[in-house]
Structure 1
Amino acid sequence: MLTKIENTIKYGKQHGGFGIQILYPGLIRPELDDTGFSTIGRIDHARITPGTLIPMHPHRNDEIITYLRSGKVKHLDSEKHTDTISNRRLMVMNAGVNFYHEEKVLEEGGVLEGLQIFIRPETAGLVPQVQFYQLPETYSDNHWRKMAGKGDDYPLQIRSNTWLMDLRLEKDAEITLPEAPSENAVFLFYVFNGKISVNETMALVTGESVLVEMENPTFRATETTDIVLFITQTNAVHFDGGMYSGNLH
């Protein structure tokens, strides 16, 4: 089954130079009474002006992935980490029981555009930790690249049955979904930027996505497109009371 998620389902927020479009993927299944979908709690698509400071603030029981396609961010946190995040350097904050961080968008990187992704952990009260990973290349052309997930073959670890990949699909190139890392897998195919045709019957544009269950459709780029792929399980064990990843109902 293919379920399209249009931009109209998102919540927009703008404060000064800080703008985000928030996707609660569970809203497409109101019968489940959950704003998240299994372990995928919330996806923020952010565009932030250089010089913007996001001051020190808390997180609890969220697994948070920062994925940038433009801009640079100076990071500081309560675990005493400082680092610069960019389109080549990823970060996962496994917030656990209690965690604080701040982010400063650097002038040198220009306008920031990226995703802040809130994943649900298996259980509450885990030990907080922070991970960084330097991508060998900025883009992964026409093939799926593993970024964060559960298992040794993912460079950044998520503490639930959740997996993230990305790729840049060049114009007129086609691709199908990668092999599922587990049984009962569900795929959320997110168009970060560009245009995609799904089975030549469904069109997706920037910010839209499609939930794929029990199918393996063909995706064709009608223009060069950056894609982020989220994989979870319908029966994944998870804690849905996280500060940002939790169920709002």
Structure 2
Amino acid sequence: MLTKIDNTIKYGKQRDGFGIQILYPGLIQPELKDTGFSTIGRIDHARITPETLIPMHPHREDEIITYLRRGEVKHPDSEKHTDTISNRRVMVINAGANFYHEEKVLEHGGVLEGLEIFIRPETMGLIPQVQFHQLAETYSNNQWRKIVGKGDDYPLQINSNTRLMDLRLEKDTEIILPESPAENAAFLFYVFDGKININGTMSLVTGESVLVEIENPTFQATETSDIVLFITQTNAVHFDGGMYSCNLQ
């Protein structure tokens, strides 16, 4: 089954130099009465102007992935880390019981564009920590790249049965989904930038996505496109009371 999620389902927020489009993926299946989809609570697509400061603020009971394609951010936090996030450096916050951080968009990196992703952990009350990973290349051309998940083959680890992969699909190139990790797997294929045709019958543009269950479609780039892929299970154990990944219904 293929379920398209177009941009009309998103919530927009704009304040000063800070603008985000918020996707609650569960809204495409209202009968489930959950704004998230299994372990995927919320996806924020952000565009933020240089020198914008997001002051020190809390996070609780979420697994938070910061994935940038443009711009750079200076990050200090309550675990005494200071680092810079960029399109080559990914951050994961395992917020656990309590975590604070601040973000400032650096001027020399230009306008920031990226995703802040709120994943539901398996359980609450975990010890907070933060992780960083330096990507070998900015883009993974026409090949799925593992970034966040469980197991030694994922450089960043989360307390959730969720995986995140990405690729840059060049124009006129086709690809299929990676091998399903388990039964009841569901794939959320998110077009960060570009235009994708699916099986010759469905198209996606920047910011749109498709939820794939059971089927194994073919994706073709009608223009060079950056893709982020989320893999979860429909029956995955998860805590849905996190600060941002919570079920709002």
TM-score for both structures, normalised by structure 1: 1.00
> Which residue number corresponds to residue 35 of structure 2?
35
Cα distance in structure 2, aligned partners of 1:129 and 1:196: 36
Cα distance in structure 1, aligned partners of 2:133 and 2:181: 21
SS at structure 2 position matched to 1:21: strand
How many correspondences in the alignment?
249
Residue correspondence of structure 1 range 1-249 to structure 2 within 5 A: 1-249=1-249
Deviation at 1:150, TM superposition (A): 1.3
Cα distance in structure 2, aligned partners of 1:47 and 1:164: 21
Cα distance in structure 2, aligned partners of 1:235 and 1:203: 28
Deviation at 1:182, TM superposition (A): 2.1
Cα distance in structure 2, aligned partners of 1:171 and 1:129: 39
Structure 1: 5+ residue stretches without partners = none
Cα distance in structure 1, aligned partners of 2:180 and 2:130: 26
Cα distance in structure 2, aligned partners of 1:224 and 1:202: 17
Q: Tell me how large the CA RMSD over aligned residues is.
A: 0.4
Deviation at 1:190, TM superposition (A): 0.1
Question: What's the CA shift string for 1:99-119, capped at 9, x where partnerless?
Answer: 000000000100000000000
Cα distance in structure 1, aligned partners of 2:246 and 2:120: 7
Q: Tell me the amino acid that sits aligned with residue 231 of structure 2.
A: I
Question: What's the CA shift string for 1:68-94, capped at 9, x where partnerless?
Answer: 000000001000000000000000000
Q: Tell me the amino acid that sits aligned with residue 133 of structure 1.
A: H
Deviation at 1:151, TM superposition (A): 1.3
Q: Tell me the amino acid that sits aligned with residue 162 of structure 2.
A: T
Cα distance in structure 2, aligned partners of 1:231 and 1:178: 10
Deviation at 1:222, TM superposition (A): 0.2
SS at structure 1 position matched to 2:223: strand
Cα distance in structure 2, aligned partners of 1:77 and 1:159: 20
SS at structure 2 position matched to 1:12: strand
Deviation at 1:183, TM superposition (A): 2.0
Question: What's the CA shift string for 1:144-200, capped at 9, x where partnerless?
Answer: 000000111100001010000000000000000001122211000000000000001
Question: What's the CA shift string for 1:180-226, capped at 9, x where partnerless?
Answer: 12221100000000000000100000000000000100000000000
Cα distance in structure 2, aligned partners of 1:51 and 1:18: 11
Percentage of identical aligned residues: 84
Cα distance in structure 2, aligned partners of 1:216 and 1:81: 41
SS at structure 2 position matched to 1:31: helix
Q: Tell me the amino acid that sits aligned with residue 100 of structure 2.
A: Y
Structure 2: 5+ residue stretches without partners = none
